[in-house]
Amino acid sequence: MILAMSELPSRLSVVTLGTRDLPGLRRFYRGLGWEEIPSSDDEWAGFLLGGVLLALYPVDELAAEAATAIPSPAGWSGITLACNVDSPQQVDAAFTTAVAAGAVAVADPVDRPWGGRSAYIADPEGNRWEIAWASGARFDDRGALTGFGS
């Protein structure tokens, strides 16, 4: 059976990070002030972030599920996660907070050629996060991204 394109909704619901030290990564994200969902434990953890669930799962178990046919690349995966904030000043404040909580500073906050401002950090397991402000980003009351662009 061939699925119609409309049967696969255009949404991102969950981002799962395969982790080598799940308890340590849980502590890092809680240290940012992010609230875990009630079912989190040291075997699986989740943080609801503005309509998307950030899930932490043991990397070996995730690989057994998701990487059985394709070998994992060495080094950085080429994937970044992003947290858009409401102002250019919030980029700097969020960057400082993340580094104080244990993130590694990858790129300090700068004004970007595309008109926004952003910085990059890595969590304790090397997952890259961009902290960004873009003038066209629009959010609902929950912080979910509802529009992007002019």
Is it the case that residue 32 has pLDDT exceeding 90? yes
Q: Are strands 104-111 and 52-58 parallel, antiparallel or unpaired?
A: unpaired
Query: Which residues, at least 6 apart from 29, have a Cβ–Cβ distance to it below 8 Å?
Result: 36, 45, 47, 54, 56, 123
**DSSP β-ladder status, 80-84 and 52-58:** unpaired
The predicted pLDDT at position 142 comes to: 82
State yes or no: pLDDT of 3 exceeds 50.
no
- Predicted pLDDT of residue 89: 96
Average pLDDT over residues 127-148: 86
Residue 123's pLDDT is 92
* Structural domains present in the chain: 12-66 (3.10.180.10), 79-136 (3.10.180.10)
Cα 51-140-130 angle, rounded to 5 deg: 60
pLDDT one-digit tens code per residue, 47-90: 988 888 899 999 888 877 766 555 555 556 767 898 999 899 99
